Amino acid sequence: MMAFTHGLASVAVATALLPFGPEYAAPPVLAAALLGGIAPDLDVVADHRKTLHFPVGYTALAAGLLGVHAVAADPTLWLVWVAVAAAAAHSWADVLAGSVEAEPWNPTTERAVYNHALGAWHRPRRLVRYSGAVEDVLLGLACAGVAVAAPVTGPTADAGLIAVGALSGLYAVLRHPSVRLDAIAERFPAAWARLPAISVEETESGATTVSLRYR
């Protein structure tokens, strides 16, 4: 699943949890949920779904933080818990997604998320076939809709959520293997010439490298 989808899902859940949390303004809690939901995918430049994905580790840490918060009732600790819980949810949710490989729409491996506690990979359930699939976008937009409809989000947060949803749609379009960038360049040569040359390479371990060069 896209990092955008994880982030939007975390925010949607956070909007439901806000009334049950300590007295705290909504923006910091929603920001913590968004960042925690996205953070594990920063390992896309390393060993994707292994380097920063800790399904058991994040879950154990979140449980410990919640226990400490029950005793100490520290609002800052609540924010940390929200972020860690979102990272845990992200790590487990990727088990429901596709496999980690260069072309996940043509799956050849059975690696979804690495479980450091077990020392093995969870197999993908492929309910979401790959990052940027149609069902991935729809799930992200549904989560954005839930968050925007919640009374705890204001106009600024709503605008940000809509922007994230739009970015997820754009990413999905550009990532899809049927998109022919050379055809776009031929149709709009003047505009294309002003854009930087972007090269994206994906390895079998799921790592991604991006190079940017201006013409």
Q: 168-206, pLDDT tens digit by residue?
A: 988 888 776 555 556 666 667 776 666 666 655 655 555
Domain boundaries, the chain: 3-179
- In the block, tokens 């705290």 appear at 24
Higher pLDDT, 192 or 91: 91
Question: How deeply is 211 buried, as exposed, middle or buried, from its count of CB atoms within 10 A (0-12, 13-18, 19+)?
Answer: exposed
**pLDDT attached to residue 40:** 97
Q: What digits encode the pLDDT tens for the residues 35-68?
A: 999 999 999 988 999 999 999 999 999 999 999 9
For residue 186, give every residue at least 6 positions away whose Cβ sits within 8 Å of its Cβ, in sequence order, or none. Answer: none
Question: Please, which pLDDT band fits residue 79 given cuts at 50, 70 and 90?
Answer: very high
Q: What digits encode the pLDDT tens for the residues 124-137?
A: 999 999 998 999 99
Higher pLDDT, 26 or 86: 86
Cα separation, 97 vs 126, whole angstroms: 5
Cα separation, 140 vs 164, whole angstroms: 9
